[in-house]
Amino acid sequence: MLDAAVHGLGGEDRPGQRMLADAVSDAIRRGHHLVAEAPTGSGKSLAYLSPAVASGLRVVVATATIALQDQLIGKDVPQLRRASGVPCSAVTLKGRANYVCLAKLGTAKDPDALFDVRPTASFDDDIDTIRAFAASSTTGDRAELPADVSDSSWASCSCSGQECPGARECEEGPRCFAERARGLAAEADVVIVNHALACLDLGAEGNVLPDHDVLVVDEAHAFPEAATRSFGVDLAPVALGRLATMLRRHGAPAKSVDALDRSADHLRGLLDGLDGHRLLGEALRSVQGACTAVAEHLAAARAGLPTSDDAEAKRAGRLAATRIETVRRIAEGRPDEVLWVEGRGDRARIRLAPLEVGSPVAEHLLSTRPTILVSATLGGTPPFGALATALGLDPDAEPGHWGEPPGPDRDPEVAPRRATGRGYVALTVPPTFDWREQGMLFVDPTLPDPTRDRDGWLEASGEHVLALVRAAGGRALILCTSRANVDHYAGLLRAADLGDGFEGEILVQGEAAAAELTRRFLADERSVLVGTRTFWAGIDAPGAACVLVVIDRIPFPVPNEPLHAARRERAETKGLDAFGTVDIPAAALTLAQGAGRLLRRRADRGVVAVLDPRLATRNYRRRLLDAMPPFRRTVDLDEACAALHDAAGTDA
């Protein structure tokens, strides 16, 4: 099937692609887990789709980006179907909030309607747009809206899983777009979702996605973070106030609602001034005590709701139930979870997240079905221990297996599933690129240390940036570890003479939406894009559009970021070196992602410049360099500039 698909696309035989396809086929057939690094250009999507479709099993593919979902559903699966003749059906399934909620749409313009986010001036026009779309659409999917609407307007016409009472309890249930999408997914051979929905399914013990035999996680480097967000909760006191108003309107006892209002105000006061702070000591006890009171008053208000067939009343009851669960979880606060505060005033919210997600992933996923984890960069070398351990896999365990290889003709009575365990097979797919010929890594060990002489480093690194961008004639992606550095380099570039006839734009994160900046960057090959973490992964700029990637500093996590700080403390209590076991793996993965923006096609050429001398001088540099593509290396600025002149086709 892979051969037919590649031939149908006019592609060429790639040994790495064939190797990955064989490994995926073996994992599915034997029932073990696979962790595979397949560099850009390997053709990994066809490599895992071909054996998955050929197996006859139901497969869920989870991705981190919309771009990859679109590629899979619009290009790869249809190509497999045409080339192989195998009747494979595929659909994309999204979270409920991505679909129009007909029940909420019907009351959106009600003068008494409550909104979690204040409506914008375009609200009335937006609702008219959404209403016309809902009347003609077969999907109700926001991505298919013919015109943009504000997030607040969309939120007033969509329904999260936290407030949806379910199709049976809603008068619009028979026409519900989200339920229709779930129904189509239940009949499909391949279901494409994002990481968040896959993790939500794990947390709900398989009640979100249709039953499936295999899970393929593409862009697997991002899966642990998605799991951390999904298995955590957050709570905004201001939202509790709005919920109290909603409960009051639908007949909840005034005494209980008044008490809920007061306890929500008290909680809001406790959070004042704690933005960015991890909750510890007296602050933690105070907030947890306030949450206990909120939970009690909220439960009393919900219990006092009169029975009603009104859809909005049912949503209020459902939302109250989920909020009670959230508040109680925050009030309990387990030792393996961390609590912190984000935002100020009405934007303040409490965040709770697990310190590790390996245990729930192992329990709800690894023990139930073969899992294929694939990415262009996994931040190290086989067996990719840091990522594997974060997801509950055990690098020292033997790969598990089924009682009998699964297949469409398997008799479930004769060969029941058996736990696949935590062992796995690790694979590195040979690159299709000639890394040393196509790319160069430039690090100047004489630059000042950014942690010891920030001002000196900013000045010297800025001079390097100007020289490199001039040599490339623009065509540069500058990745920064802080917003301050974005502003610094953008200001230098805009004020400098970048060469005769330079007409490229200096595009800066924050001055337009990320998608718009990316579009303009790709459209004008002379442009320079300066941004933070948003652009370290996912952006695909082949050819002359990007011959230079500049990384300002080694992307170590922020030391006082609450979740990261808690993970460091946890490592230290276990007697581990926190820097080596927490900081280095995180930095290596992000650094590899950033460097991976350079080469996207076999004809690409260019330079990755890291403006941090520690990558050339510190004893931990080897672990970071091992995670990056094996470019040829230089410490000479003139040599790097010469390579850029060649890559960009400009005169030296």
Report how far residue 538's alpha carbon sits from residue 194's, in angstroms, rounded to the nearest whole number. Answer: 14
- Which structure tokens are listed for 93? 């399934």
Report how far residue 467's alpha carbon sits from residue 191's, in angstroms, rounded to the nearest whole number. Answer: 48
Report how far residue 273's alpha carbon sits from residue 412's, in angstroms, rounded to the nearest whole number. Answer: 58
pLDDT digits (tens, 9 = 90+) for 276-321: 999 999 999 999 999 999 999 999 999 999 887 777 888 888 889 9
pLDDT digits (tens, 9 = 90+) for 616-652: 999 999 999 999 999 999 999 999 999 999 998 765 5
Q: Is the pLDDT of residue 419 over 70?
A: no
pLDDT for 5 equals 58
pLDDT digits (tens, 9 = 90+) for 449-473: 999 999 999 999 999 999 999 999 9
Report how far residue 283's alpha carbon sits from residue 264's, in angstroms, rounded to the nearest whole number. Answer: 16
Q: What are the CB-based long-range contacts (under 8 Å, 24+) for 5-9?
A: 5/46, 5/50, 5/76, 5/79, 5/80, 5/83, 5/84, 6/43, 6/46, 7/83, 8/79, 8/82, 8/83, 9/79
**CB under 8 Å to 521, separation ≥6 — which residues?**
477, 507, 527, 529, 539, 541, 545, 546
pLDDT for 50 equals 92
What's the pLDDT band for 417 if we cut at 50, 70, 90?
Answer: very low
Q: Position 99: which residue type?
A: Y
**What percent of the chain has a predicted confidence (pLDDT) above 70?**
92
CA atoms within 13 A on the CB side of 518: 14
Report how far residue 615's alpha carbon sits from residue 554's, in angstroms, rounded to the nearest whole number. Answer: 7
What's the rounded mean pLDDT across residues 233-255? 91
Length of the chain, in residues: 652
618 — alpha (psi -120 to 50), left (phi > 0) or beta? beta
Residue 141: strand pairing partners:
99
3-state helix, strand, coil in the chain (%, to 5): 50, 15, 40
- Does the bond joining 383 to the residue before it have cis omega, within 30 degrees of 0? yes
pLDDT digits (tens, 9 = 90+) for 181-219: 999 999 999 999 999 999 999 988 778 999 999 999 999
Report how far residue 137's alpha carbon sits from residue 144's, in angstroms, rounded to the nearest whole number. Answer: 8
Q: Is the pLDDT of residue 113 over 80?
A: no
| Of the candidate ranges 24-33, 64-73, 174-183, 240-249, the one whose mean pLDDT is the lowest | 64-73
CA atoms within 13 A on the CB side of 81: 13
What's the rounded mean pLDDT across residues 147-161? 86
What's the rounded mean pLDDT across residues 414-437? 77
What's the pLDDT band for 487 if we cut at 50, 70, 90?
Answer: very high
DSSP code at position 533: G
- Run of H or E including 341: strand 337-342
Report how far residue 77's alpha carbon sits from residue 73's, in angstroms, rounded to the nearest whole number. Answer: 6
Report how far residue 336's alpha carbon sits from residue 338's, in angstroms, rounded to the nearest whole number. Answer: 7
Report how far residue 299's alpha carbon sits from residue 317's, in angstroms, rounded to the nearest whole number. Answer: 10
- Which structure tokens are listed for 42? 């390997």
pLDDT for 7 equals 57
Q: Residues 555, 589: contact at Cβ < 8 Å?
A: no
Task: State the helix-helix crossing angle for 281-303 and 254-271, rounded to 10 degrees.
Answer: 160
Strand order in 528-531's β-sheet? 506-508, 528-531, 476-479, 548-551, 606-610, 439-443, 632-634
- Which structure tokens are listed for 67? 């771009």
Question: Rounded to two decimals, what is the model's pTM?
Answer: 0.87
What's the rounded mean pLDDT across residues 95-120? 75
What's the pLDDT band for 414 if we cut at 50, 70, 90?
Answer: very low
What rounded mean pLDDT belongs to the chain?
89
What's the pLDDT band for 415 if we cut at 50, 70, 90?
Answer: very low
Q: What is the 3-state secondary structure (H, E, C) of 150-198?
A: CHHHHHCCECCCCCCCCHHHCCCHHHCHHHHHHHHHHHCCEEEEEHHHH
**What percent of the chain has a predicted confidence (pLDDT) above 90?**
60
Q: Which of 230-234, 333-337, 439-443, 595-599 has the highest mean pLDDT?
A: 439-443
pLDDT digits (tens, 9 = 90+) for 503-512: 789 999 999 8
pLDDT for 418 equals 47
Q: Is the pLDDT of residue 116 over 80?
A: no
DSSP code at position 75: I
553 burial via Cβ count (<10 Å: 0-12, 13-18, 19+): buried
pLDDT digits (tens, 9 = 90+) for 325-354: 999 999 998 999 999 999 988 889 999 999
Q: Residues 272, 367: contact at Cβ < 8 Å?
A: no
What's the rounded mean pLDDT across residues 94-122? 76
Q: Is the pLDDT of residue 175 over 50?
A: yes
Continuous H helices in 543-613: 562-573, 578, 584-595
pLDDT for 112 equals 53
Residue among 583, 585, 638, 634 nearest 608 (CA): 634
